[in-house]
Amino acid sequence: MDLDSVYRAEYGRSVATLTRLLGDIGLGPFPFLSSPSSALASVIAIQVWKSAPYDMLIFVAGLAGIDRQLYEASAIDGANAWQRLRAVTLPGLRPITTIVLTLGVIRGLRVFTEIYVLTNGGPAGSTETTITYAYNAGVQNNDLGYASSIATLLLVATVIITLLLRWWRGRVETR
């Protein structure tokens, strides 16, 4: 059994289990991956579910980096929990949020495994991304030059988006 069929079997079982549970509570079978209108949302939900623990770990590290004296000072000044969250925690997490946002955008641009395993770009091309398009051009159509140019443009787009997010973060922090 190759790795591709293992991935397909695991994701297929997860979607089948969720569909069965929705049927058990009376919501009926939902076409998660078979409908063009819901397939992309389903893949996005899987990607978010998959990356949430990693992102939360980064946020926990960011929370650990916030100076505790700021919380003590705000408590002495009479700030309640909501005011401490708004005035201390959220501004302290702004750089971490930018990092998580940047990583999320990069992950979103290069998502391949979930789409290839679950839908292979279908139904009706609704889940096809730049990476799956480059894969189809290079591997299935044997047009490696075109596929490598797509990948190069994706790299350039990723670098530009990353630099724009860093520039935006610098502007926000100087305010």
pLDDT at 64 over 60: yes
CB burial class (10 A; 0-12, 13-18, 19+) of residue 46? Answer: buried
Name the least confident of 70-74, 123-127, 169-173.
Answer: 169-173
Q: What band does 9 get if pLDDT is binned at 50, 70 and 90?
A: low
CB 155 within 8 A of CB 134: no
pLDDT at 113: 87
pLDDT at 25: 81
The domain spans of the chain are 37-174
Query: Hey, CA dihedral for 151, 154, 160, 163, is it positive or negative?
Result: negative
Q: Per-residue pLDDT for 76 more than 60?
A: yes
Query: What's the pTM value of the predicted model, to 2 decimals?
Result: 0.74
Structure confidence at residue 19 (pLDDT): 72
Task: Look up residue 52 and give its two tokens.
Answer: 């949430």
Q: For residue range 32-62, what is the model confidence (pLDDT) as tens digits?
A: 778 888 888 888 888 899 999 999 999 999 9
Confidence of residue 12 (pLDDT cuts 50, 70, 90): low
CATH ID of 37-174, from 3.80.30.20, 3.30.1330.10, 3.90.850.10, 1.10.3720.10: 1.10.3720.10
Long-range pairs of 140-143 with CB within 8 A, sequence gap ≥ 24: none
Decide: 104 and 121 in contact? Cβ < 8 Å. Answer: no
Determine the number of helices (DSSP H) and then strands (DSSP E) in the chain.
9, 0
